[in-house]
Each structure stands twice: as C-alpha cells, then as structure tokens.
Amino acid sequence: MRYIDDDLKDKFILITGGAGFIGSNLAFYFQENHPDAKVVVVDKFRSGETFTNGNLKSFGHFKNLIGFNGEVISGDINDEDLIQNLMENYKFDYIFHEAAISDTTVPEQDLMIKTNVNAYKDLLDIAVLHKANMIYASSAATYGDSDVFKVGFESPNNVYGFSKVMMDNITDEYLKSGVDIDIVGLRYFNVYGGREFFKNKTASTVVQFGHQLLKGDKIKLFEGSDKILRDFIYIEDVVQANIKAMKPKKSGIYNVGTGKARSFQDIADIVSSELGIKEEYEYIKNPYIGQYQFFTQANVSDTKKFLGYEPNFELEDGIREYIPEIKRLFENEVKK
C-alpha cells in the first residue's frame, strides 16, 4: 500500500540499519511504491561478534535485502569515516534512522550510549546540513514502569530505554533551536512481522511460538502470561507511520502502536489456531523481572492527529497475514 502521494523521483533517502527488521521493510516499501527514489542502505552486517549476554552485536542480514536494487553500504554508525562519507559525498532529502543496539538485555552501557545516542547526534547533524527530514526509531522502552504511555511520562528500567530517552531529548533540543527540518521520533511498541527472523532470540514471540509449534514442541510462556499485556503492532503499520512521518503536521515524538493491549497468551492461542495445531503450553519463570514491562498500551491520539496515522491491523489480522511467512521460514531456515 502506498501511504503518500508525493513524487519522490530522484530524492535521496538514507536508511540506517537497512538490513535489519524495520529498515529492510522500509527499503522495499520505497522500491515498490516509489521506484524513482534513490535509496541508500547502511548497515553493520552481522559477524560472529557477540555481547556479553551471548547475543549478536548486529542483526543485519543480507537475506533481508535479497531483491533490493538500491545502494548498500556496510558500515558502523560509530565510525567517523562513515559519517564523513555520508556527510560529504551525498545530499539526502530524508533520513530514516533505524540502526541501534535494540537488544534490551545488553549490559554494555558504554557501547549502548555511544551507538544509540552519540551516533544519532552525528546523523542529525548530517540531516541539518543536508536539510533532510529525520525520522528515527525511538521505543516504548522509554516508558519502563510508567503506567501512562504518553510523551513526558518516561521511566526507563534498562539502559536501552534510557538511551532512547536521551535521543528524544536531543530531538527536543534541536527543535527548540529552530532547525529548518522536520524531526520525528517514533516510539515503537512491540513490532512483529516479516524480516524479523534474523533477530534470533529477540524476534517477536509470534514467530517464535509459530516455529515451536511447527517443530512439534510446546509453546514456552512466562508464568502469568495471560496477565502480561503489551501493545503488539504489525510491521505494515510501522511502515505506514514512518512514511507519514516524512511530512508531519508537527515535528516531535510519537507513539506507534495500536492503542490496545493484548496478552502473550492471546498470541499463543491465535498462532496455534491459525496454524491449525492444537496448543500445548509450558510455563517457565521470567528471568527478566526488574527489566521487564508487564503492561504497555500506546496512546496514539497525537500520532493520528499530527501524522495522519491510523493502525489497520488487529492482532488477529497481523498474525493471519504473517502465517505464510512463518511457514516459509520454518521450511527454508529452521529445518536446515
């Protein structure tokens, strides 16, 4: 679906983290709907490097970009030479900044701040220099244990959430300074959908539950999963929010969710029903208590008002649309 009518012919669009989940979906959105745009993808493609928690340092994967016709640059946004190259050798009209350490369990605070906060400021300086509108990934992790999911009620309970609050604070400073560009931060809630598989253990429970069932295993749920409620949003609605943020009525920080909280038990039940496999559950202790949000529900009133955003997918709709891809991934990736 095409979300804006603007002619983007010969417009230069930078997507950082473009081989990751949301970034690659944006890359293909432009290729399919605005083929005359010039899209440049930057990603720190995965290597064997891991954090101390054992998870990969980069989730970027070439398979997310198979069929992409634009320019691809392998690079780390912490690299000053990369920043200099992007600043001097291109003239961007839009920057979609999706690159980040997005694993909320990463304990390396120094690298989290350097990657998520300091590199964002460098990219924002490029946006100002190029007069490029900036659209970037913030997160519902900014709210932490707050029970008010509206900008201004932040209470992060891990360094990832803190880093996103710091990014949003930088945005506020730049907007107050009167910069001549639009800057929009999108606080994603729990995103699921195609091209997330290579996030491995941090991929959504939707795909994880589906593959557990297809392997003949029981679905593993945290104890009390019927009472753990999150706002789960399908990738197509996240893409919609990003595209509409290119021309906002007002710059700022906006929630991207459905406005409805659903349980992890709901996900397990829906996935089981859609796959036609009788559900069997195994309940395990939650090892992330203290770092874990037990309830999230986006207030999207401002997102609707200033971006023209309207969530189109209920949880049942998104999972139903996702099931064929879950089956394909199981046959082509999991069973190998």
Q: Is 120 a catalytic residue?
A: no
Contacts with 91 (C-beta within 8 Å, 6 or more apart), sequence order = 12, 130
Which residue's structure tokens are 């007002």? 250
- In sequence order, which ranges of 158-314 are alpha helices (DSSP H)? 159-176, 205-214, 235-244, 264-275, 301-307
Q: Is 160 a catalytic residue?
A: yes
Which residue's structure tokens are 């959504």? 204
- Number of Cβ within a 10 Å radius of residue 327: 14
Closest among 261, 272, 198 to 232, alpha carbons compared: 261
Marked catalytic residue, from 199, 234, 244, 309: 199
Q: Write the secondary structure of 162-196 as one string of H (helix), E (strand) and C (coil).
A: HHHHHHHHHHHHHHHCCCCCCEEEEEECEEECCCC
Marked catalytic residue, from 160, 174, 234, 322: 160
How far is it, in rounded angstroms, from Cα 73 to Cα 227?
43
- Residues identified as active-site: 160, 199
